[in-house]
Amino acid sequence: APIIITYFAVRGRCGALRIMLSDLGQDWKENVVSFEDWMKGDLKSTCVFGQLPKMQDGDLVLYQSNTFLRHLGRKHGAYGKNDHEAALIDMYNDGVEDLRMKYIRLIYQDYDTGKDAYIKDLPNHLSKFEAPLQKSKSGFLVGDS
């Protein structure tokens, strides 16, 4: 059965999941939730943390977007060749999450006052990913594929 994603009609927290599923050659189905339906509260009350996205893989129902990525990585052999590589994958994933949270804060809280500082500081954050990529013989942050 295909993966089922339940989320709003945005890329948001499921962008990386959709890319990963596509890269793995996996089919998926989307249940798109309107803001109006979400505000009714029926679906929200069934969500473990009261939020979306939700991913169903067979009888396994998960919440939290980074959990989806780790689950699929382990399931499909895309989570490193050993514990060392898996730990590095976790580290870079958490680094991306930190950057994502700064972007979300900028967009939704202080765009007018924080835009210039964000743009000025962005190369510093991106360099944390670019430096190891430049040293990598494989072209990947971790592993060779």
The string of pLDDT tens digits covering residues 15-55 is 999 999 999 999 999 999 999 999 999 999 999 999 999 99
Structural domains of the chain, ranges and CATH numbers in brackets: 3-75 (3.40.30.10), 83-135 (1.20.1050.10)
Task: Please state, in angstroms and as integers, the Cα–Cα distance from residue 109 to each residue in 48, 102, 105, following that order.
Answer: 26, 10, 5
In single-letter form, the type of residue at position 145 comes to S
- DSSP reduced 3-state for 3: strand
Is the pLDDT at 87 greater than 90, yes or no?
yes
pTM of model > 0.85: yes
Task: Kindly state the percentage of the chain with pLDDT values over 90.
Answer: 94
